[in-house]
Copies of this chain bind each other. A is one copy, B any other.
Amino acid sequence: MGKCEQCIVREFSSLKALNKDELIKLAECKTSHTIKKGNPIFEEGDIVNGVYCITTGTCKLSKLSANGKDQIIKLVKAGELLGQRSMISDEPANLSAVALEDMEVCFIPKSEVLSMFDNNNQFSMNMMKTICGDLKDADEHMISISQKTVKERLAETLVYLQETFGKNEDGSLHIQLSREELAGMIGTATESCIRLLSDFNKIGLIGLIGKKIIIKDIAKLKRIADIV
């Protein structure tokens, strides 16, 4: 059982408000889990009786729609918490969380989170701020889907992926998404996504080496995305 005190990722989430005693208590009740790439942490409809703290790896939060398309709502990375919304709302999960790479997560039971809410106002406030941030992001994502073209959204998403998850030594995007997943993020058909990537490749904005994507002209991508 790892010590939460020595875990650096907690500094990046609401958990940073916890004091030494709270961290010791947390270390005793949390459970650690390994999730292999492609496997779910939880799925739509599951009762999520606590929150997951991501130690390593990244996952997608997505929802499968009637027509079989998987819309990706958000990517969640190490340091962030997962499942707060369902836990707080006392509702089954609205979205599925699936690992995009091998992950390590710690599960913190609901009773523990609620007791931290009671005893640590800063923790509650942090959690509220996080959820408010998610809400703002969701609103902006909505406007983006509604008012930007697929091309603009693809450009925007490529920039986001590089700036949020970085790149490998060869310059390619570190986070590995299939074309289908990328399409699911920007809300379009897989073929449309592939076609536009091809276009971006032809005009030298990006490079495509197998499934890898290398951003070559981020300034121009930003201009296309209209990120001012």
Are the C-beta atoms of B132 and A88 separated by less than 8 Å?
yes
Additional pairs, 8, CB under 8 Å, beyond known A73-B143, A84-B132, A124-B128: A65-B143, A65-B147, A71-B142, A88-B128, A90-B129, A118-B121, A127-B128, A142-B187
Contacts of A173 in B (CB 8 A): none
Are the C-beta atoms of B129 and A121 separated by less than 8 Å?
no
Are the C-beta atoms of A85 and B147 separated by less than 8 Å?
no
Interface string of A138-173 (1 = CB under 8 A from B): 111111011100000000000000000000000000
Chain B min CB distance to A143 (Å): 5
Task: Find the B residue at minimum CB distance from A228.
Answer: B66
Q: Does A95 contact B (CB under 8 A)?
A: yes
Task: Find the B residue at minimum CB distance from A226.
Answer: B66
User: In the complex, A117 Cα to B117 Cα: how many Å?
Assistant: 11
Closest CB pairs A-B (n = 5): A146-B187, A138-B138, A89-B132, A142-B142, A85-B132
Given A117-B124, A121-B118, A128-B128, are A85 and B135 also a contact pair (CB < 8 Å)?
yes
User: In the complex, A187 Cα to B187 Cα: how many Å?
Assistant: 14
Are the C-beta atoms of A88 and B141 separated by less than 8 Å?
no
Copies per complex? Answer: 2
Interface string of A86-111 (1 = CB under 8 A from B): 00111100110000000000000000
25 interchain pairs, CB-CB under 8 A: A63-B143, A65-B143, A67-B147, A69-B147, A71-B142, A71-B143, A71-B147, A73-B139, A84-B132, A85-B135, A88-B125, A88-B129, A88-B132, A90-B129, A117-B124, A118-B121, A124-B124, A124-B128, A127-B128, A131-B131, A134-B135, A138-B138, A138-B142, A141-B142, A142-B142
Q: Does A136 contact B (CB under 8 A)?
A: yes
**Other-chain contact of A147, B129, B187, B226 (Cβ < 8 Å):** B187
Contacts of A66 in B (CB 8 A): 226
Q: Does A45 contact B (CB under 8 A)?
A: no
